[in-house]
Structure 1
Amino acid sequence: MENPEALLVLARARLPDALLRHLLASHDGPAAALAAARHGAGLGLPPACRQALASPCPRLLAGDLAWLEKPGRQLLAWGSPDYPALLRRTPWPPPVLFLHGDPSLLWHPQVALVGSRRPSPGGRQRAHDFAAALAGAGWAVTSGLAEGIDAAAHAGALAVHGRTLAVVGTGLDQAYPPKNAALMARIADQGLVLGEHPPGTPAIAAHFPTRNRIVAGLSLGTVVLEAALRSGALISARLAGEAGREVFAMPGSVDNPVARGCHRLIRDGATLVETPAQVVESLEPLARSLAADLRGALETGLADAAGACPPGPCGHSAGGQPAVSVNHKRLWSALGHDPTPLDELARRTGLTVAELSSMLLVMELDGQVVADNGRFARRP
């Protein structure tokens, strides 16, 4: 993002989410939104917000800009075309997201794996194995980087070189718990770490339940593997239900206190699952529907019969799908047999990350491309 200062000032001002989304949606860019917020006498802002807008702290702003200048870091605003579509459709999307890693993962089909911070040894192993199986099947595994189930899920996805996203309740320069700092660095390098709080934001108890809405909102389904009756994982499950997403729970021993939350979810209507394959079977139609929606938005009619693309990306696919737009031709021409990172594809095609991610997802599901750690190539 060019000139991110205005958006950083807005993010630091702690405006109500709905108000900040409205300001960003109704003005031509963050600078105009900031000017409107500064002059909005009728907004009813508390004194602390007005002060933060009028006189932002130079030290904090300089620190935020320094953080953003490092490779792999981005600031994503509500009005951006790159804002993830699934999260946008929730009742409570965050107006700003800080990103560290591969932003294309925001557009990849995700499954949230959540559960207890103090799981049983068997629960920890199941989380690792579940994540490895889902990631190996091409899904992105999303969780909250907490101790226990979350950490095991991220580690399981990384173990098979799969995709994983960690949503944190702190600034992205703060690892919480501190012992997960190395895991957080691996995810930033091989996947994506994201959150709604500026750099330097410490671990605050109130931020973790709100973090869960992002975990649930990014995912097509949420799987609770082990959870006590008062577990934060049940908040994630409730939020997933509120967003219209699938909720799954794994049963356990009636004598296991960290299984009782799962049993309650099942009694309340969550789908009982025992294997990753059952989750995939339930969510595949949703993923294909999402791909069809993306395909419908991207296809603009029959391609030129003289185009140089093979069947699938251009021309009619084997399933009789109509040919796709000039943008698809441009992307296919930019792809080679050597894996190419998304930012290089953006440079070659002139398309945005959102446009590329949408097309690449459709092409991957159609078997036209392969993805490897955020790099894309034509399928041999």
Structure 2
Amino acid sequence: MLEERTPEELRAWLRLALEPGLGRGSARQLLSALGLPHHALAAGAPTLARHLPRELALQLAEPPSAEVATGIESAMQMLTLPGHQLITLADPHYPATLFDCGDPPLILFVRGDVALLQRPSIAVVGARSATPGGCDDARAFARYLAERGWAIVSGLARGIDAAAHEGALQAGPQGGRTIAVLAGGLDAIYPPRHAGLAEQIATHGALVTEYPPGTPAQPFRFPDRNRLVAALSRGVLVVEAAAQSGSLITARLALEYGREVFAIPGSIHAPLSRGCHALIRQGAKLVEQGRDIEEELQRSGPVPQPGAGHGTAMQPELPGWLAARDTGSRTAAGLRTSKRPVNRMLKDPVITRVLDALGYDPADTDTLCRRSGLEFSRVAAALTELELNSVVQRLDDGRYQRRQQGIIYG
């Protein structure tokens, strides 16, 4: 449980966090000089002016503006809801790892398990416009690491972030712990379609933000969100990322904070592999399975041990290296036996859907059915036409892979 704090003390913390013109750095300097927020706010304008610009000192010496007062009371009201907590720099539950970022937030709003912020964690991040294969990777790695006792940190964004949270939750009640760091208030889930996922995370993990209720998630807040993702974690795994990507910002911040950075390689032809390949060239650890991450982190400190009931964790590997299920004996009705112009074929919505599901790594027919949501006969027909037109090739183990100019991807 968090230490008891009076409403006046909480309001003073909120005042410093919400006051216009008072940045995090200036607020921390003020606390260092004058003590806790309610002490600083009671010091008077002359004392405050020794540490702040005169106009800001006069502003703080007065009662809060109507806008700030409304924000304070809105936050106080939210803290009466079940599972909602406010952690301050002075709380023992404040995650010490955030001090490594050099700009730790004054306060954190948390919905869920506050103690989870003390648990060893690994961030899993990547592209919003991720491929189905990339999302599969993120789920598999996150599930394995969660089963091994790690908390999985990500940003609740579309694509890789959401898949990482889902994978961690799939580890079950004993191991499925995940932390979503938000770029807005706890009541402003973004994207809105992840509201259901956010509810699951609040139940089995924690939603965390430095922003008060009512704050919308906006692009200029994402870098701040990313710094917390990086600082909370022992290491950052980048699954897919374009050459210019917010995930690369998170990885760069992680390096600045002394964290390990891991990246999954992909096809040299896949745009979302370029960011990962750039990280690997710059020294990130190339990983093929969850064990690679744990072995690397063991060199820098203790790693969590799976608790009783976590079950046996399977090692996730890249889809291109997964054992393929034999689909050679299956047949499908209505297979095309003749070619049609490639440009016309690629406008076929079923063909496009199957190609999107295939991505740039080998996949078997069952996987493509699951990813595309199409029945087997339609996927098989599409693959046959794509093979006839030399867009894909069937490998010896029964999986399919894209071609380009006669070169097989991967």
Bin for the TM-score computed over the shorter chain: 0.7 to 0.9
CA distance in 2, matches of 1:134, 1:45: 51
Match of 1:6 among 9, 12, 15: 12
Letter in structure 1 aligned against 2:64: S
- Which residue is equivalent to 2:133? 122
- Which residue is equivalent to 2:75? 64
Contact 2:41 2:61 in 1 (8 A): no
Letter in structure 1 aligned against 2:18: R
- Which residue is equivalent to 2:398? none
Q: How does 1:208-227 map to 2 (within 5 A)?
A: 208-227=222-241
Letter in structure 2 aligned against 1:205: P
Task: Note the C-alpha offset of 1:371.
Answer: 9.4
Task: Note the C-alpha offset of 1:237.
Answer: 0.2
CA distance in 2, matches of 1:101, 1:108: 14
CA distance in 2, matches of 1:96, 1:173: 16
Match of 1:35 among 10, 34, 42: 42
SS in 1 for 2:261: strand
Q: Does residue 1:280 correspond to 2:294, yes or no?
A: yes
Q: Does residue 1:102 correspond to 2:102, yes or no?
A: no
- 1:60-116 deviation per Cα after TM superposition (whole angstroms, max 9, x unaligned): 222111101112111111122221121223322222211111011111000000000
Q: Does residue 1:144 correspond to 2:155, yes or no?
A: yes
CA distance in 2, matches of 1:48, 1:205: 31
Letter in structure 2 aligned against 1:104: A
- Which residue is equivalent to 2:365? none
Match of 2:25 among 15, 18, 22: 18
Q: How does 1:1-380 map to 2 (within 5 A)?
A: 1-3=5-7, 4-14=10-20, 15-36=22-43, 40-42=48-50, 43-44=52-53, 50=59, 54-57=63-66, 58-161=69-172, 162-288=176-302
Moved more, 83-92 or 206-215: 83-92
SS in 2 for 1:198: coil
Aligned length: 296
CA distance in 1, matches of 2:62, 2:204: 36
For normalisation by structure 2, the TM-score amounts to 0.68
Contact 1:25 1:78 in 2 (8 A): no
CA distance in 2, matches of 1:122, 1:49: 57
CA distance in 1, matches of 2:58, 2:254: 31
CA distance in 2, matches of 1:37, 1:270: 51
Task: Note the C-alpha offset of 1:274.
Answer: 1.2
CA distance in 1, matches of 2:32, 2:309: 33
- After superposition, the Cα gap between the structure-2 partners of 1:241 and 1:64, relative to the gap in structure 1 and judged at 3 Å, is same
- After superposition, the Cα gap between the structure-2 partners of 1:48 and 1:146, relative to the gap in structure 1 and judged at 3 Å, is farther
Letter in structure 2 aligned against 1:212: N
Aligned-pair identity in percent equals 46
Task: Note the C-alpha offset of 1:27.
Answer: 3.6
Moved more, 16-25 or 106-115: 16-25
SS in 1 for 2:135: helix
Contact 1:7 1:30 in 2 (8 A): yes
* Structure 1: unaligned runs, 5 residues or longer: 292-363, 373-380
Moved more, 44-53 or 77-86: 44-53
- 1:130-178 deviation per Cα after TM superposition (whole angstroms, max 9, x unaligned): 1101101111100011110000000110111211000001011110001
Contact 1:13 1:52 in 2 (8 A): no
Task: Note the C-alpha offset of 1:51.
Answer: 7.0
Contact 1:13 1:53 in 2 (8 A): no
Contact 2:41 2:60 in 1 (8 A): no
RMSD over aligned Cα, in angstroms? 2.4
- Which residue is equivalent to 2:399? none
Task: Note the C-alpha offset of 1:49.
Answer: 9.9
- 1:241-286 deviation per Cα after TM superposition (whole angstroms, max 9, x unaligned): 0000101111111111111001111111111111111011111343
Task: Note the C-alpha offset of 1:23.
Answer: 2.6
- After superposition, the Cα gap between the structure-2 partners of 1:94 and 1:53, relative to the gap in structure 1 and judged at 3 Å, is farther
Task: Note the C-alpha offset of 1:53.
Answer: 6.7
Contact 1:25 1:79 in 2 (8 A): no
For normalisation by structure 1, the TM-score amounts to 0.73
